[in-house]
């Protein structure tokens, strides 16, 4: 197990589009374990492989209070979205310290493979629906701040660059 370094916005590697996993093998299972450890350590409720500079369609999520319900999504697809929306204040491990409201579908249907390469499906609403949509955006190279106004995005970039300069000095 290993804690992987997380890319920070506006790193251009966050905008790469992930490829489907060809075979769910030990390499992928190791990636899943490392991503889960990285997410729990951060701590966060979701992590996409893109954020650890691996450009394959792998996501880990755990929205439970106790942090003991790991959801592994390999090659996930949202096959249905409700027309009604919900607004949540989102954050992201790749955009530390930034939280803002994003509107997304209130309910979704998801299809994916598990760590054994078996297909499964589920419906999601509430925080889980937000989290799945947020993480699947990462796999398409999209970070949640891109839903915000250009002015806000520029402010966030400036703030993060400043934070990182200070971190280097510290």
The residues assigned a catalytic role are 135
The distance of closest approach from Cβ of residue 26 to Ni ion in the complex, given in angstroms and rounded to an integer, is: 26
Site residue total, Ni ion (CB under 5 A): 1
Closest approach, Cβ 65 to Ni ion, in A, equals: 20
**Comparison of 15 and 117: residue with beta carbon closer to Ni ion:** 15
Kindly tell me which of 51 and 75 has the beta carbon lying closer to Ni ion. Answer: 51
Cβ closest to Ni ion, residue 92 vs residue 113? 92
Residue of 162, 141, 124, 154 whose CA lies nearest to 48: 141
The residue (of 32 and 49) whose beta carbon lies closer to Ni ion is 49
Can you say how many angstroms the Cα of residue 128 is from the centroid of all Cα atoms in its chain?
A: 12
Half-sphere exposure of 165 (CA within 13 A, CB side): 6
Rounded to a whole number of angstroms, the minimum distance from the CB of residue 6 to Ni ion is 9
Q: How far apart are CA 132 and CA 135, in angstroms?
A: 5
Per-residue contact string for residues 68-107; x = within reach of Ni ion by CB under 5 A: ------------------------x---------------
129 is a contact residue toward Ni ion (CB under 5 A): no
Distances in whole angstroms, Cα of residue 94 to Cα of each of 10, 18, 108, 109, 151: 9, 16, 24, 26, 19
CA 163-168-170 angle, 5° bins: 90
Question: Quick one: DSSP state of residue 11?
Answer: -
| Residue 50 beta carbon to Ni ion: minimum distance, rounded to whole angstroms | 9
Closest CA to 134 of 122, 147, 123: 147
Binding region for Ni ion (CB under 5 A): 92
């Amino acid at each position: 197990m290993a804690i992987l370094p997380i890319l920070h916005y506006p790193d251009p590697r966050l905008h790469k589009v992930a490829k489907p996993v060809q075979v769910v093998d030990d390499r992928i299972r190791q990636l899943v374990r490392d991503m889960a450890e990285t997410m729990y350590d951060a701590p966060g409720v979701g992590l996409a492989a893109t954020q650890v500079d691996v450009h394959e369609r792998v996501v880990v999520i755990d929205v439970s209070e106790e942090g003991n319900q790991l959801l592994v999504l390999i090659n996930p697809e949202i096959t249905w979205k409700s027309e009604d929306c919900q607004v949540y204040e989102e954050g992201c491990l790749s955009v530390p310290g930034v939280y803002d409201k994003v509107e997304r579908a209130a309910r979704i249907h998801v299809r994916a493979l598990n760590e054994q390469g078996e297909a499964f499906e589920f419906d999601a609403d509430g925080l889980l629906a937000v989290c799945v949509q947020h993480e699947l955006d990462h796999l398409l190279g999209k970070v949640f701040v891109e839903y915000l106004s250009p002015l806000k995005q520029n402010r966030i970039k400036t703030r993060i660059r400043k934070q990182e300069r200070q971190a280097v000095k510290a």
